[in-house]
Amino acid sequence: MRIFVNTHYDFLKWRWHAIAMSWIIILAGFGVMWKNGGPKLGIDFSGGTIVIVEFDKDVPEATVRSALDVVPGDKVIQQYGDPAQHRMLVRLPLEAGAVEKGFELEKGANAVHDALIKANLGNPQIVSREFVGPVVGDELKSKGFWATALSIVGIGIYIWFRFRFSFAMGAAIATVHDLLITMSFLVFFGYEFSLNIIAALLTIAGYSVNDTIVVFDRVRENMHLTRRESLAKVINDSVNQTLGRTVITSSTTFLAVLALFLAGGEVLRGFAFTMIVGIVTGTYSTVFIASSVAVLIGEKEATTAVKTPAKSTVATGTSASASKASANKPAARKRA
């Protein structure tokens, strides 16, 4: 299946519009985050109570979630272990000052048990309860940040050695752009930042740079074939030549993740939503952001390279003229 064959769209013509739109979305995301006092952190990062409940019959996840609506805070409910055991895992957020009170674990477990009893869901039993403190949350937060940062650095170093500096900067900036745009949409739609979200963000980073490398590899091939063309034209032609592959790959991946979002349940909804936004913005950044940055830095490098030899030539010519003048002076004195 071949689509977008022999296209000649001028994508770089709209690069400043694309960059401006990206900045608007990112700044709006940071604005909402600042207004809300920071990102909305899940239990993995903020701490809380984990309760495992066992039922004497099969109870749908949606029914348990509805029964626990009376328990305050954003909760995570998911099936736990073997389905034949009829167990559910319930994660409750950490309340302010709960660590000092020292009874958060028992309080959370009792609140879950009472809510399930009032909903007439058989005879639920609390088989396990665990308290995740904020110290563990801070450690997970730090590891999640460094995992994301080091992956971006590694991607940039790889592309620098594989291609050139301007391409590495284009890919790195495009990857950071994708992560910031995705985080902005997570803030807009009120999703919590959890380890599942971090896993999705790392997946997006890899997906985005893979698409970018495909375009840059075609750019490298075309630069050998058309040495007299400008970098902007070569990159624009390369984006057009790989456009069909980009659209097909992104579309099939998008459909798979959309199915996960619609039918994967509440537990995977945040992960799937992050992937949906990341796939869209990753395709967009490959066409507009990475290519634009590569052109801007590449043209600056070319301008610097042209000016440097020119200065050397002028300096060499001046020295040669001075030497010639010095050589002629004794001859002039001799004739005199």
Average pLDDT over residues 257-282: 90
Let me know: does 76 contact 195? Beta carbons within 8 Å: no
pLDDT above 90 coverage of the chain, percent: 21
Whole-number pLDDT of residue 136: 60
Average pLDDT over residues 173-185: 93
The token duo for 234 is 């070569």
Interior/surface letters 251-275, b for 16+ CB within 10 angstroms, e for the rest:
eebeeebeebbeeeeeebebbbbbb
Whole-number pLDDT of residue 309: 56
Region for residue 71 given its phi and psi (left: phi exceeds 0; alpha: psi -120 to 50; beta: otherwise): beta
Q: For the chain, give the mean pLDDT.
A: 81
pLDDT exceeds 60 at position 318 = no
Higher pLDDT, 330 or 126: 126
Q: Which ranges constitute the DSSP H helices of 123-241? A: 134-162, 165-188, 195-225, 231-241
Whole-number pLDDT of residue 103: 58
Higher pLDDT, 173 or 152: 173
Whole-number pLDDT of residue 323: 47
Let me know: does 254 contact 204? Beta carbons within 8 Å: no
Q: The whole model's pTM is what?
A: 0.75
From the list 93, 94, 90, the residue with the least C-alpha distance to 61 is: 90
Confidence of residue 137 (pLDDT cuts 50, 70, 90): low
Confidence of residue 332 (pLDDT cuts 50, 70, 90): very low
H and E: helices and strands count for the chain = 12, 4
Whole-number pLDDT of residue 186: 94
C-alpha 53/C-alpha 128 separation (Å) is 7
Pick the most confident of 89-93, 209-213, 247-251, 328-332. 247-251
Whole-number pLDDT of residue 43: 73
Whole-number pLDDT of residue 181: 95
State phi, psi for 180 to the nearest 5 degrees. Answer: -70, -40
Q: Which CATH class is domain 11-38+137-303?
A: mainly alpha
Average pLDDT over residues 272-284: 94
pLDDT exceeds 80 at position 155 = no
Confidence of residue 17 (pLDDT cuts 50, 70, 90): very high
Of the given ranges (14-18, 51-55, 157-161), which has the lowest mean pLDDT? Answer: 157-161
Of the given ranges (61-70, 173-182, 302-311), which has the lowest mean pLDDT? Answer: 302-311
Whole-number pLDDT of residue 305: 66
Higher pLDDT, 38 or 52: 52
C-alpha 82/C-alpha 195 separation (Å) is 23
Average pLDDT over residues 267-274: 89
Give, for 42, the enclosing helix (H) or strand (E): none
Average pLDDT over residues 72-92: 83
Average pLDDT over residues 81-91: 85
The token duo for 336 is 């005199």
pLDDT exceeds 70 at position 240 = yes
Higher pLDDT, 276 or 61: 276
pLDDT exceeds 90 at position 230 = no
**Domain assignments of the chain as residue spans, ordered by start:** 11-38+137-303, 48-132
The token duo for 250 is 């992104």
Taking CA atoms, 44 is separated from 71, 133, 186, 273, 306, in Å, by 19, 9, 17, 18, 53
C-alpha 87/C-alpha 79 separation (Å) is 6
**CATH architecture, range 48-132:** 2-Layer Sandwich (3.30)
Let me know: does 122 contact 55? Beta carbons within 8 Å: yes
Whole-number pLDDT of residue 194: 81
pLDDT tens-digit map of 96-114: 555 444 456 677 788 888 8
Spell out the residues 6+ positions from residue 201 whose beta carbon is closer than 8 angstroms to its own: 148, 179, 182, 183, 274, 278
